[in-house]
Amino acid sequence: MATLEHYLILSAILFCIGVFGLLSRRNAVGILMSIELMFNSANINFVAFSKFINPDILTGQIFSVFVIAIAAAEAAVGLAIVVLLYRNFDIVNIDKINFMKW
Amino acid sequence: MYSEGFPILSLITYLPLLGVLLILLIDKENIGTIRMVALLIAVLNFIISLPLFFLHDVSTHHFQFVEMLNWIPALGVSYYFGIDGISMLMVILTTFLTPLAIWSSFSAITERVKGYMISFLLLETGMLGVFVSLDLVLFFIFWEAMLFPMYFIIGIWGGPRRIYATVKFVLFTMAGSALMLVAILFLYFLNYYYTGVYTFNLQELGNFPIAPNIQLWLFAAFALAFAIKVPMFPFHTWLPDAHVEAPTAGSVILAAVLLKMGTYGFLRFCLPLFPHAVYEFMPAISILAIIGIIYGAMVAMVQKDVKSLVAYSSVSHLGFVMLGIFALNVQGLEGGILQMINHGISTGALFLLVGMLYERRHTRLIADFGGLSKVVPVFAVAFMIITLSSIGLPGTNGFVGEFLILLGTFKTNATYAVLAATGVILAAIYMLWMFQRVMFGEVTKEENKKLTDLNLREKLILLPLILLVFYIGFYPKPLLVRMEASVEHLLDTVNKKYRVESIEQNNQDKKITIAEIVNPEKNEGTHDE
Amino acid sequence: MNVQIDLSLLYPHLFLLIWALLIFAIDFFMTEDNRPSLGYLSIVGLIITAILSFASDKGTTFWGAFRADTFSLSFNIIFIGSAILTIASAIDFVKDRLKHHGEFYGLILLSTLGMMFLASSSDLLSLYVSLELATIALFVLVAFMKRDLKSTESGLKYLILGAASSAILVYGISLLYGLTGTLTFAGIAEQLNTSFMGGPLFILSIILIIAGLSFKLAAVPFHMWCPDVYEGAPTPVTAYLSVASKAAGLAAMIRIFFEGLHSSAAEWIPLILTISALAMVLGNVVAVRQHNIKRLLAYSSIAQIGYILVAFIAVSELATTSMILYMIVYMFANIGAFIVVITFYNRSGSDEIIAYAGLSKRSPFLAISMVIFLLSLVGIPPMAGFVGKFYLFAAAIQKGYYWIVVLGVLTSVISLYYYMMVAYQMYFKSGDDNSRIKVNPTLAVAILIALAGTLFIGVYPEPVLSAISGASVTLF
């Protein structure tokens, strides 16, 4: 039987993988995917908390639906910019675009 | 709002702003008109300010010509103007010297005249505001607002190292006043803690005993701002740079008025607000003042440039003023205040003279001159009189001030007086030696033979200053009478509060520590009004 | 549960939404020459929205998720004001350098709409969604110059860090939800009052929320994107980012921490204190070395957030009032400075500080305006910045935080130095190009409005203060 702790640990692991990917990936699409992982780990949290703490009120589950929508919007804009970079400047790797110092 | 009759102080303070507006309307090519408008406004301001002197009620220490109105009621900031015998003299000094300084720059400033005159008039508003404000926030606003006109005056129209000088000047002053702002805010909440009133009004703020250990901190924060402005010995390094690089009129105003803001700040704020700390710091400040006197004189002696010699002599003279103030007796204080005015007149005049010389020769090095008394006799006589006044020869204004200061200091601590007296001797040496090298001997340089003597405008600028030198020298009574009531009241306040606090300090139960005051629980009540 | 929808509270928002969509739509039917008028149309829409905001009632609706009060009204005015000034400054810029006018103005309006919802949100869900509405529009705006590598690059950087910070924020929110079982600020506050809340998970959630919001504020150590994005983005967007986006982040912070988490203030005050100190020191010190005016303003804006957070730690009414006041003051000064930068860029095509040499002769108006805005940012009286900083510091001192205030005033002195260096170029140097710069009327009006705001609040802050004084009452 999976308890709340299991879900939380899973989400924490996912979140950490996402952060790691964000920091280590060089490909812009890969970075966007890592960010999706971070969003989804939060979603797991919401749904798990909703189920174990307050199963009658679906606040947490609703929140996760919103997060999915927002993550999709962010990914759409992100991919648009990546496509732009690729089409106009032939770049997909983030370390190639350092024309301004960080 | 209540004001005792006509709001003359506001008129005097903001009249220069009207001048700024007028000048903004004039085309910038029309230099002659711009100069005339600036001068007329400044002269008019002086004339309007004269009633302050003649109508001054000598019998009372209360603030006169008071204007009071709520400005930011939410914080208890008021628009509170008023003058007593001390600030009245400072106001007159400012309005008196500004037209002379503006007039003197008619020939010296030929580029970007419009900006120059605007800066100068803004500066005058700032200076006057500092002297008439009796609300701490209002005072602070004018204190800082006056910085930037000066920044531009030195930075645009100054000498070769003007950028360095002006940035240093502004950063020093800002750094000093930054901590003063923190102290003002602290005092404000402290006052609320004791009295339950939110106010920045100077007269209401001081009406409770501040714990001595807190006084030390607050005094230090205020004193740092003022000491940099004076400038006291370790904080004086901006002064020679700023003075030497500033255009003549800038140096005049800097020496004659801006430095006085520091000493005035001590008189107006530090003394009545933190009497305990004043007594505590008295030896330290007196010693720093004496170091300033002697060090300034020594350094002045070895200067090659007349202007930097005058600049260092300021350090020395202001040392005397500080010594007089911190003698904490009537003679010392009166001498200090009188010397503030004297220094304004003499050093202002010296800078004017040096500026006139520089306009003719484009050098200020002592070695480039010699024998000028033969070529430009009128100039030499004027220079002589001002030099003697700066030394403090009996019969000139400098003598009265220095004598009173030494007298006052002697009553408090004879050793200080003896040490300070060496400063008088040193002053005689460096001033007269400089005078001798510039004025006497043979005319060695070709260029010096062609020098023209003072023209009418220059004579008219110097004449009022020379008259004042003798007038104060022979008959200082009108000035002393006017400051007397205020000085006595100031001393009264300091001593009375000091006694009260000494008693309270012994009573350990009543001692309040910083920790107690800042304790958030106790302040809980402050934010639910 | 009975239906609790009072649409009248949302009239300003609905109006702005419709107006923004109209701008998108009208764009299709316009010829290229007419499109700049979309800018003026947007300004009209914003002004009407502002009037509606003033006129509409105060109250709560949508089961407590939306709350219109003085606090939200104050922030709405800040958002709308900065949007108006930004659009006014952008019209020429867009005409010369960008295509797709409709999208540009429409996205600014949508972003403003998101921020307005944000200021009114009173639970974590509406706060999060409106924050994202505001931010996603900004991602697009930053990358708006499609052919410009710098703009695209900064757009991608802003998007990656913005999305990551939003993921961090939402993870923190999920933990807080798990601990308290509720999403409304009032519910969270009640939970914290009744049961002691400590423990590593609670601290972690607070850290994550602060981290996520600090990205929006560009507070140290989450400021890395700020200089690059400011430099790369189209300058009007930078102006908007530097004020409205920060104000939005601040509004969110105040809502969450003052309304929801104030009873556990002891847990988060040290964090904010550290961020504030770091921001003031790093922002001001690094700004000294900048040679691009937009980067300089970026670092200075990081420092400004530090000053604002000085008051944040006081957690009092005075703190809220002072932060709102400062945001208004900062809006006039910072957007004003950016408008000068835009005007200068339109003419010279350069953002280098050296290029400003001799500006006082080329355009005395631009030069003196810039000086006034910069002095206001330092906090020199009689500019509004002084009143603003005075209030911020007063709030902190009231609660006994002296050292952070001392640090604040001392770092202000550093900021004076680098702002003076700009004044130095403009006034004390002379450049190669001495041709006069003519300021076109729209930009001149925008600068004059910013100047008027800066000087008026500096000399007579009372009307503004009394208008925003009610804002804090609603929070405590």
Question: Chain A: residue nearest C223 by CA?
Answer: A102
CB atoms C413 and B144 under 8 Å: no
Q: Is the pLDDT confidence value at B100 over 50?
A: yes
Pick the CATH number of A4-96 from 1.10.10.1150, 1.10.287.3510, 1.25.40.10, 3.10.450.50: 1.10.287.3510
Q: Which residues from chain B sit within 8 angstroms of residue C419, using beta carbons?
A: none
The predicted model gives B132-139 an average pLDDT of 92
Assess C316–A contact: CB distance below 8 Å, yes or no: no
Among B525, B366, B507, B514, residue whose Cα is nearest residue B430: B366
CB atoms C139 and A66 under 8 Å: no
The predicted model gives B503-514 an average pLDDT of 53
CB atoms A42 and C163 under 8 Å: no
**DSSP state letter for B72:** E
pLDDT at C390 (0 to 100): 92
CB atoms C178 and A49 under 8 Å: yes
Assess C293–A contact: CB distance below 8 Å, yes or no: no
Cβ proximity of B285 and B412 under 8 Å? no
CB neighbours of residue B86 within 10 Å: 23
d(CA C225, CA C218): 8
Question: Chain C: residue nearest A55 by CA?
Answer: C181
d(CA C51, CA C19): 14
Assess B21–C contact: CB distance below 8 Å, yes or no: no
Assess B178–C contact: CB distance below 8 Å, yes or no: yes
**B touches A, CB cut-off 8 Å, minimum 3 pairs:** no
pLDDT tens for chain C, 476 residues long, are: 455 678 888 899 999 999 999 999 998 888 878 888 899 999 999 999 999 998 888 888 888 888 888 899 999 999 999 999 999 999 888 888 887 888 999 999 999 999 999 999 988 999 999 999 999 999 999 998 888 888 888 898 899 999 999 999 999 999 999 888 888 888 888 888 887 677 888 999 999 999 999 988 888 888 888 998 999 899 999 999 999 999 999 999 999 999 888 888 888 999 999 999 999 999 999 999 898 999 999 999 999 999 999 999 998 888 999 999 999 999 999 999 999 999 999 888 888 999 998 888 888 899 999 999 999 999 988 899 999 999 999 999 988 898 999 999 999 999 999 998 898 889 888 877 788 888 888 899 999 999 999 999 998 888 898 888 877 766 66
* Closest chain A C-alpha to C21 CA, distance in angstroms: 18
Cis peptide before C221 (omega within 30 of 0): yes
Q: Which residues from chain C sit within 8 angstroms of residue A100, using beta carbons?
A: 150, 153-154, 227-228, 231-232
d(CA C319, CA B267): 34
d(CA C320, CA C301): 19
d(CA C416, CA B175): 10
pLDDT at C117 (0 to 100): 94
Q: Which residues from chain A sit within 8 angstroms of residue C153, using beta carbons?
A: 85, 97, 99-100
pLDDT at C221 (0 to 100): 82
Assess B145–C contact: CB distance below 8 Å, yes or no: yes
Helices (H), B109-237: 113-132, 136-145, 147-157, 162-195, 202-205, 212-229
Assess C183–A contact: CB distance below 8 Å, yes or no: yes
Among C219, C345, C224, residue whose Cα is nearest residue C273: C219
Probe site for chain C from B141, B169, B513 (most C CB atoms < 10 A): B141
Q: Is the pLDDT confidence value at B19 over 80?
A: yes
* Closest chain C C-alpha to B352 CA, distance in angstroms: 25
CB neighbours of residue B143 within 10 Å: 26
Query: For residue B350, what pLDDT band results from cuts at 50, 70 and 90?
Result: very high
d(CA C433, CA B395): 59
Of the candidates B137, B182, B186, which has its C-beta nearest C409's C-beta? B182
CB atoms C462 and B74 under 8 Å: yes
Among B496, B493, B474, B487, residue whose Cα is nearest residue B331: B487
CB neighbours of residue B403 within 10 Å: 17
pLDDT at C3 (0 to 100): 58
Of the candidates B142, B167, B526, which has its C-beta nearest C398's C-beta? B526
Cβ proximity of B493 and B270 under 8 Å? no
CB atoms B156 and C386 under 8 Å: no
List C-alpha distances in Å: B155 to B150, B151, B527: 8, 6, 45
Assess C198–A contact: CB distance below 8 Å, yes or no: no
What are the residues of chain C with a beta carbon less than 8 Å away from any beta carbon of chain B?
A: 316-318, 360, 371, 375, 380-382, 386-387, 390-391, 393-394, 397-400, 402, 405-406, 409-410, 412-413, 416-417, 420, 423-424, 427-428, 460-462, 465-466, 469
**DSSP state letter for C359:** H
d(CA C352, CA C425): 11
Q: Could you state, in order of their start, the residue ranges of all structural domains in chain A? A: 4-96
Q: Which residues from chain C sit within 8 angstroms of residue B519, using beta carbons?
A: 400
Question: Chain C: residue nearest B516 by CA?
Answer: C400
Cβ proximity of C157 and C151 under 8 Å? no
Q: Which residue's entry shows tokens 């602060």?
A: C210
CB atoms B156 and C428 under 8 Å: yes
Cβ proximity of B497 and B275 under 8 Å? yes
CB atoms A67 and C170 under 8 Å: yes
Cβ proximity of C283 and C303 under 8 Å? yes
Among B252, B245, B255, residue whose Cα is nearest residue B168: B245
pLDDT at C474 (0 to 100): 62
d(CA C128, CA C131): 5
Residues in chain C: 476
The dihedrals phi and psi of A91, each to the nearest 5 degrees, come to -125, 135
d(CA C458, CA C447): 16
Q: Is the pLDDT confidence value at B323 over 90?
A: yes
- Determine whether A54 is exposed, middle or buried from the number of CB atoms within 10 Å of its CB (0-12, 13-18, 19+): middle
d(CA B67, CA B9): 8
d(CA C462, CA A48): 51
**DSSP state letter for B196:** S
Q: Which residues from chain C sit within 8 angstroms of residue A8, using beta carbons?
A: 178
Q: Is the pLDDT confidence value at A18 over 90?
A: yes
Which two tokens mark B32? 């002659």
Q: Which residue's entry shows tokens 């103005």?
A: C105
Report pLDDT digits (tens) over B27-68.
888 888 999 999 999 999 999 999 888 888 888 888 888 888
Query: Is B80 in a helix, a strand, or coil?
Result: strand
CB atoms A38 and C164 under 8 Å: yes
Of the candidates C128, C136, C147, which has its C-beta nearest A88's C-beta? C147
Q: What's this model's pTM, rounded to 2 decimal places?
A: 0.91
CB atoms C163 and A59 under 8 Å: no
CB atoms C174 and A66 under 8 Å: no
* Closest chain C C-alpha to B195 CA, distance in angstroms: 15
Q: Which residues from chain B sit within 8 angstroms of residue C466, using beta carbons?
A: 74
Cβ proximity of B240 and B106 under 8 Å? no
The dihedrals phi and psi of C128, each to the nearest 5 degrees, come to -70, -45
Which residues face B342 on adjacent strands? none
Report pLDDT digits (tens) over B378-389.
999 999 999 999
Q: Which residue's entry shows tokens 């910083």?
A: B514
Q: Which residues from chain C sit within 8 angstroms of residue B189, using beta carbons?
A: 394, 397-398
Which two tokens mark B228? 């940099």
Query: For residue B520, what pLDDT band results from cuts at 50, 70 and 90?
Result: very low
* Closest chain A C-alpha to C81 CA, distance in angstroms: 27
List C-alpha distances in Å: A30 to B202, B471, C237, C392: 65, 87, 28, 43
Of the candidates C380, C393, C462, which has its C-beta nearest B148's C-beta? C380
**B touches C, CB cut-off 8 Å, minimum 3 pairs:** yes
Question: What ipTM did this prediction achieve?
Answer: 0.94
Which residues face C116 on adjacent strands? none
d(CA C10, CA C387): 33
For chain B, first and last CA: distance in Å? 24
Which residues face C66 on adjacent strands? C61, C121
Of the candidates C152, C170, C171, which has its C-beta nearest A81's C-beta? C152
**DSSP state letter for B135:** B
Question: Chain B: residue nearest C412 by CA?
Answer: B178
Question: Chain B: residue nearest C401 by CA?
Answer: B518
Q: Could you state, in order of their start, the residue ranges of all structural domains in chain C? A: 7-473
* Closest chain A C-alpha to C106 CA, distance in angstroms: 16
pLDDT at B521 (0 to 100): 44
Instruction: Enumerate neighbours of C (3 or more CB pairs within 8 A).
Output: A, B
d(CA B241, CA B251): 11
Question: Chain C: residue nearest A69 by CA?
Answer: C129
d(CA A70, CA B415): 80
d(CA B397, CA B467): 10
pLDDT at B528 (0 to 100): 37
Q: Which residues from chain C sit within 8 angstroms of residue B140, using beta carbons?
A: 381
* Closest chain A C-alpha to C100 CA, distance in angstroms: 16
Instruction: Enumerate neighbours of A (3 or more CB pairs within 8 A).
Output: C
CB neighbours of residue B29 within 10 Å: 10
Q: Which residues from chain C sit within 8 angstroms of residue A18, using beta carbons?
A: 167
What are the residues of chain A with a beta carbon less than 8 Å away from any beta carbon of chain C?
A: 8, 11, 15, 18, 22, 28, 31-32, 35, 38-39, 41-43, 45-46, 48-49, 53-54, 59-60, 62-63, 66-67, 70-71, 73-74, 77-78, 81-82, 84-85, 88-89, 94, 97, 99-102
Helices (H), C254-316: 265-287, 293-312
| Contact partners, residue C461, CB within 8 Å, separation at least 6 | B72, C325, C384, C387
